[in-house]
Structures are given as structure tokens and as C-alpha cells.
Chain A
Amino acid sequence: MDGVLTSIAVVAGVGVVLAVLLEVAGSLLADYGDVSIDINSGSRKLEVPGGNKLLATLREEKIFIPSACGGRGSCGECRVRVMEGGGPLLPTETPLLTPEQRKNRVRISCQLKVRGDLQIEIPPELFLIKSWTVRLARKTRLNYDTVELRLELPEGETIEFKPGQYIQIKTARYGKVKEEVFRAYSVSSSSRDNRALEIIVRLVPNGIATTWVHDHLEEGARVEISGPYGEFYLRESQHEIFFIAGGSGLAPIKSILHQIQEENIDRKATFFFGALDLRDLFHVETMREFEKNISGFTYVPALSNPSEETQKSWKGEYGLVTEVVARRAAEGIKDGEAYLCGSPGMIDACVKSLTGMGMPEERIYYDKFV
């Protein structure tokens, strides 16, 4: 009996001693203390506890670096320039950075752990970004694969944004999806309505966020958003405006059209919207209303794959949106400004076509989201 008790005591004793030693070592070694993060050569200085990833640390301090994958190292959007501190490049960062970026000291902030003082550089617009938990007030089906969400801010909160900018929304866990992600959506509502935002979400096959929005998000639900982000907005000038979009790319353009109407901006504008067939169109009445209320504005939808049924009644344009632009706007292009929103392929093709028709590249604006 004695032997059994002693052996139990010895094993337990050794275990306890080890556990205590490890606790002590752990807290000593893992304690990075407070570190200072200098942002943009002194425009902001943070004193934060070390030991966490840079993205999360900045988020705690209400500085929102854009991220799509929520810190899992799969999207590469949370890029930050780390001028000093930061340590060696991690194997989880290298696949997401070009050699150019690595030379410029760009790091992936969701992988980099804050171990000591840092000096970083971020685009100053990011300081203006705030985050809110909003309520889904209304979910409207616009067509067979597109919905519009109306998100209301909490009592007393307002959001200031330029029409054309986008917000990031955080999805929730659902079904088999065990992780949350962040996705960017342009705001489609008027910027005068600063207590709510509307966004347009098109279903992407196998897409984590769009599946959640379409199948699981219900009115009344709470959603975390941050914003506004983006360089896509109407420039002040007298040039004729050419809007070109497809699918959910209509959203920022709708917001800008609200702005044109509300501020009585007196410029000729045409909106070329590319779609396959009638069922891909949406907000057609909204566009017709804009045509009535904004002098000089024309809405030109173009169908590139119409069914025989559609062809019997369609009076509008046929063809790929780039061809329709070439057909209808050849003269005005040289002195115009273009605002593009759509898939990367569409944007590339449009830029090529527009510059080919004489529009200088500096007057072509787009949000590629890539």
C-alpha cells in the first residue's frame, strides 16, 4: 500500500512541479509587456499590450485594416508597411506578397505578432473608418440572384461617406461554415440618409458570404460593419460622365446618381448596364425615375444573351456592354470621364476599349475589389 501511495505521490508531485515551472516560464516569456506602435511617422502613437497579431491589436484601438478572411491568412488584404520592428517574414506571409511588396516592407498584419516596438505606415484614410453593429431592417429580392439589404445604424449614430465608397460586413457562422469572414460591398443608398445604408449582394456559387446573406441572414438580425472605404467617388469636373457596370456593380453608381440628383449636378451622364437577359436586370424603375428627375441622364441597359422570348419584346440595346458603349458614345468619350464597376475582366476590357477610343486613362475610375 505504501509503495502505491508513494508512486502516486511522486508522479503527481513531478507533474505539479513541472506545471508550476511552465506557468512561470510561460508568463515570463510570453509577457511582451507594453509596446509602442508609431503610425505614419508620429501622426498617431499607440501604447498597447504586446503578444497579439498586429491586425487584432489595431482593431482593439479602433483602427480597421481591411480584411476579407478575418485574419486567417488567405486573402492578403490586411497589408501594412512595417518600417521598423516586426521581425522576420513568416512562411504564412510569403505566398501573399509579391517580391515588390516584400522589398517595400509590406507585411500581412494578421500573421505578424506584436513583440516589440513597431513603426508602421497605413493609408491615412483608414483613420476615418469606424465600426458599428447595425440591424438588418429590410431584405429585398431584386432578381433571381440578387438581394438588397437595408442596414440601420444604432440610435444616435451616423455614418459619413462619399457616394461610391464601400463598407465591410462581417458574416456569422452558419451550417458547415465555422469561421467568420469580412466582405466588401459598395453602398447603394444616398449619402444624405446617414442613419442607414443599403447594399446589393449577388449570390456567388460556393461563396461563404453571399450564401450567408441569401440563405441565412434574416430581417432583424444584427450585423457588424466597418467603413467607409474606397477611392471610388464622383470627381468634381465638367466632363461628361459614362457609368459602366454589370451585376452588383450597379450599387455605387446608384449612390452617385442620388448625389447627382440631390446636389443638382449639371453634367451629361449615361449609365451603360451590361446583363445577359431580362431576368438579370433590377432597379429598372429606379433608373427610369432618375431619368425623369435628372436632366441629361440616360439609362442604357444592354442584353448580351437574350432568349428568343426576350427578343420579341426588347426594345433596348443588344450586345456586350463594351460594344454598346462604342456604338452609342464614340463622340463624347474623348472628353468624358468613366466610372466602372464590375468584374475584373469587364473592367480590363472597358479600360482597353475606352482608351482605344481616346479617353485618357487618368479619367477612368474603378473599384476592382481584387
Chain B
Amino acid sequence: MSETELTSALVILFAAIFTNNIVLTNFLGLCSFLSVSREIKSSVGLGAAVAFVTTFTAAINWLIYHHLLVPLDLVYLRFVIFIVIIAGFVQFAEIAIERFAPALYHALGIFLPLITVNCAVLGISLFMVIREYGLLETVAYGLGGGLGFLVGIVLLAALRWRIRRSRVPAALQGAGIAVILSGIMALAFVGFSGMLTIN
């Protein structure tokens, strides 16, 4: 692996967390982001689970895309195939978590299988295709994207904890204030732009 490849991968990793955060820059994966951020502990758990899924599914999808779909000229099948791979992998993650971390399994509840339809996960695989990353860059991007989701959701959970005693107007309680906070966080993250660039 060449030096430029490694540097590129590292840049992509950090950019995916800060400047091109999948949930704060691209606003993907908002369903579980807004719901699970009510509690810090489950946010950490979900974020970690998402990062686990994104890293592996991005890599597997890269392999399938470049070694199966492209040679067979079936690129248009990428949406179907990626979703199937993600669904299978999340199912596997569910079984593993239920076995090794049952408390986390119960705490996440329905949100674990919901990772399958989390746009952030599919988004990372599709971006990897659009941006024509190599395998190492893909792994870095998968990991970084998942970690970016983790950072975003834990930050939002912490903010919601901070404002728990504030007098939020009744109409904005819950999802309303969470979306507003996310918007402000997104603006704050814009401050990172220019630090690193990935195309």
C-alpha cells in the first residue's frame, strides 16, 4: 500500500467524522438519530453498532461492486444488492449482540434492526461508489462515517441531557427541539470545513 493511499485513507477517515459528517452534513440517518438520542447510554450503543455495520458493509459492498457488478455490467443492481447485504449483515450483528451483550440488545430494542433502513448506512456505500474510492479508502470511509454518526448522536444526546430542565415550549418538546439542536450542531460543524477536503 502506497503512502499516498494511506494518507488519503486517513484524510477520508477524519473528514468523514468532522467535515463531511454523514448525519450533520448530509442529514442522513435522522430517524434513529433523533429517537435514540434521548438517552446517552443507548446513543453510545447505537452509534457503536452503526459504526460496526458501516465499516463492514462498506467493505463488503465495495468487493461485490467491483468484483461482481462491474465485470458483469450489472451496476444498476447496486441499490438492491447493497440493501440486501446491509440487511444480512445487520441480522448477523443482531444475533451477535443478543448473544454477547444482552443488556445492550434490550436497550436498543427495535433500533437495532432499524439500522438496516438507516439511510446513513446505504448512503455511505453509495458515496463510496460515487467518489470512486479504493478498498482501503472505503474501509476508512466506512469507519469514519460510522464514527461520525456516533459522534453526532452522542453530542445530541448530551445536549438533550443538558436542556432537560430548560423550559422548552410544549409544541417543540421531543423531536422539535432535537431537530433545532441538530441544525445548530450542523452549523457548528460547518466551522470544520476547509480543514480537510475530500471530493
Chain A contacts to B: CB under 8 angstroms: 3, 6-7, 10-11, 14-15, 18-19, 21-22, 25-26, 29-30, 87-92, 113, 115
A91 touches B106 (CB 8 A): yes
A21 to B68, CA, bound (A): 18
A90 to B104, CA, bound (A): 9
A7 to B103, CA, bound (A): 41
B64 touches A113 (CB 8 A): no
A244 to B137, CA, bound (A): 80
Residue from B73, B84, B91, B107 in contact with A11 in the complex, judged by beta carbons closer than 8 Å: B84
Q: Does chain A have a CB within 8 A of B92?
A: yes
Contacting residues, chain B, for A3 (C-beta < 8 A)? 73-74
**Which A-chain residue is minimally distant from B103 (CB atoms)?**
A88
B85 touches A18 (CB 8 A): yes
Q: On chain B, which size bracket covers the interface?
A: 20 to 34
Contacting residues, chain A, for B73 (C-beta < 8 A)? 3
B88 touches A92 (CB 8 A): no
CB distance from B110 to the nearest CB of A (A): 13
Contacting residues, chain B, for A6 (C-beta < 8 A)? 72, 74
B92 touches A14 (CB 8 A): no
Interface SS of B by simple majority: helix
- Most chain B beta carbons < 10 A, residue from A6, A7, A21, A115: A7
Q: Does chain A have a CB within 8 A of B171?
A: no
CB distance from A68 to the nearest CB of B (A): 22
A88 to B81, CA, bound (A): 38
Contacting residues, chain A, for B107 (C-beta < 8 A)? 91
Residue from A11, A14, A29 in contact with B99 in the complex, judged by beta carbons closer than 8 Å: A29
B77 touches A7 (CB 8 A): yes
A216 to B85, CA, bound (A): 50
CB distance from A44 to the nearest CB of B (A): 26
B81 touches A22 (CB 8 A): no
CB distance from B130 to the nearest CB of A (A): 21
Known: A10-B72, A14-B81. 17 other contacts (CB 8 A): A7-B74, A7-B77, A10-B77, A10-B81, A11-B80, A14-B68, A14-B84, A19-B88, A21-B88, A22-B91, A22-B92, A25-B95, A25-B96, A29-B96, A30-B95, A87-B103, A92-B106
0/1 interface trace, chain B 89-103, chain A, CB 8 Å (1 if under): 001100110010011
CB distance from A24 to the nearest CB of B (A): 10
Contacting residues, chain B, for A26 (C-beta < 8 A)? 95
Across the A-B interface, give the 10 residue pairs with the lowest CB-CB distance, nearest first: A18-B88, A88-B103, A29-B99, A29-B95, A7-B74, A91-B106, A90-B106, A25-B92, A7-B77, A6-B72
A7 to B85, CA, bound (A): 16
A19 to B92, CA, bound (A): 10
CB distance from A35 to the nearest CB of B (A): 14
Q: Does chain A have a CB within 8 A of B155?
A: no
A to B CB contacts below 8 Å, 29 in the list: A3-B73, A6-B74, A7-B74, A7-B76, A7-B77, A10-B68, A10-B69, A10-B72, A10-B74, A11-B77, A11-B81, A14-B68, A14-B81, A14-B85, A15-B84, A18-B85, A19-B88, A21-B88, A22-B88, A22-B92, A22-B95, A25-B96, A26-B95, A29-B96, A30-B95, A88-B103, A90-B102, A90-B106, A113-B102
A113 to B72, CA, bound (A): 47
A190 to B91, CA, bound (A): 56
A194 to B105, CA, bound (A): 48
A30 touches B99 (CB 8 A): yes
Contacting residues, chain B, for A7 (C-beta < 8 A)? 74, 76-77
A11 to B69, CA, bound (A): 10
CB distance from A79 to the nearest CB of B (A): 19
B84 touches A88 (CB 8 A): no
CB distance from A93 to the nearest CB of B (A): 10
B102 touches A88 (CB 8 A): yes
A202 to B180, CA, bound (A): 55
Contacting residues, chain A, for B64 (C-beta < 8 A)? 14
Contacting residues, chain A, for B103 (C-beta < 8 A)? 87-91
A7 to B74, CA, bound (A): 6
A29 to B84, CA, bound (A): 21
A113 to B106, CA, bound (A): 12
Contacting residues, chain B, for A113 (C-beta < 8 A)? 102
